[in-house]
Amino acid sequence: MKQNFAIVGLGRFGGSICRTLIESGQEVLAIDNNEDRVNEYMNIATHAVVANAQDEMTLRSLGIRNFDHVIVAIGEDIQASILVTLMVKEMGVPSVVAKAQNSYHARVLEKIGADRVVHPERDMGIRIAHNLVSKNILDYLELSDDFSLVEIRVANPKFFNKSLLELNFRQRFGLTVVAIRRSNGEVVVSPDANEFVRENDNLLVIGETDDVDVLDEKMNM
Ligand code: ATP
């Protein structure tokens, strides 16, 4: 379903959201107070405007209240990020995603009603660190303090050519396999217990981070 998005701030973060949304066929209004940035997105976004989003009248005249999603991608100017988030929530936008610079900023954004607060630099740092310390963990997404979703390479021959049932995966590791990525690129989503694990497969597993660490150790044995 086509939804409409407004992005405030066309830095690297806001800009990449804009490009990806457009590529997936969505309508995007791109806003920045820097004319050069707006010119860069003139032929990419559905509409691109030079505007100071801290100005309430400007936001109203852009019809921000009618958007399904607003992404507040202002980084350095924390005051602007907070004010814009507050105003768009007050205007009744149902889904507001705000980028936080640090944990204090994140707490304020949550308090004033941001529906989702993201920390792209911190999260990417965590993902890369996990990938560096384990040669089998290819990707890592922290879902909460205790839970994560990881993509892990099947490196231990004891796992090869066995079904999830034979491996007793859920009981043994306390983890759920949400998908298997085969070496030919095929992805088996929500595999049933009889699905086989093969050499060079990657497993996408979800569960407690401690259990993921145990699985990672097992892969190295
Ligand atoms: P990134 O890491 O995404 O590149 P950043 O964290 O360095 O960006 P900034 O460069 O501070 O973030 O802000 C992103 C964009 O937001 C900039 O292009 C800036 O011009 C724009 N911006 C900042 N304040 C406002 C505002 N009040 N109204 C509209 N745009 C704004």
Ligand 1 atom 8 nearest Cα: 11
Cα(215)–Cα(218) distance, integer angstroms: 5
| AA identity, residue 120 | P
Beta strands at 196-197 and 162-163: parallel, antiparallel or unpaired: antiparallel
The share of the chain scoring above pLDDT 90, in percent, equals: 82
- Alpha-helical regions (H) of 53-193: 56-61, 78-90, 103-111, 120-133, 164-167, 169-173
Ligand 1 centroid, distance to 69 Cα (angstroms): 18
- Span 55-59, average pLDDT: 96
- Span 23-30, average pLDDT: 94
Ligand 1 centroid, distance to 63 Cα (angstroms): 21
The per-residue pLDDT for range 71-87, each reduced to its tens digit, is: 999 989 999 999 999 99
Closest CA to 44 of 30, 64, 62, 31: 30
- For 33-46, letters b (16+ CB in 10 Å) and e give beeebbebbeeebe
Ligand 1 centroid, distance to 9 Cα (angstroms): 4
The per-residue pLDDT for range 193-207, each reduced to its tens digit, is: 999 999 999 999 999
Cα(10)–Cα(36) distance, integer angstroms: 10
Which ligand 1 atom lies nearest to the CA of residue 99?
A: 6
Give φ, ψ of 92 to 5 degrees: 95, 15
Cα(145)–Cα(143) distance, integer angstroms: 7
**11-20, 43-52, 125-134, 179-188: segment of lowest average pLDDT:** 125-134
What pLDDT does 1 receive?
64
Sheet holding 202-208, edge to edge: 137-142, 147-153, 202-208, 176-181, 187-189
- Residue 181 DSSP class: E
Ligand 1-lining residues (CB < 6 angstroms): 8-14, 31-34, 37, 52-54, 73-77, 80
CB–CB of 70/6 below 8 Å? Answer: yes
- Residue 65 DSSP class: G
Q: Using most ligand atoms within 8 A of CB, pick from 12, 33, 37 the residue to mutate for ligand 1.
A: 33
Show the domains of the chain with their CATH numbers.
4-118 (3.40.50.720), 123-219 (3.30.70.1450)
Which ligand 1 atom lies nearest to the CA of residue 77?
A: 11
Cα(109)–Cα(81) distance, integer angstroms: 8
Structure tokens at 56: 């309430």
User: Is a pLDDT exceeding 70 seen at residue 192?
Assistant: yes
**53-67, 81-95, 125-139: segment of lowest average pLDDT:** 125-139
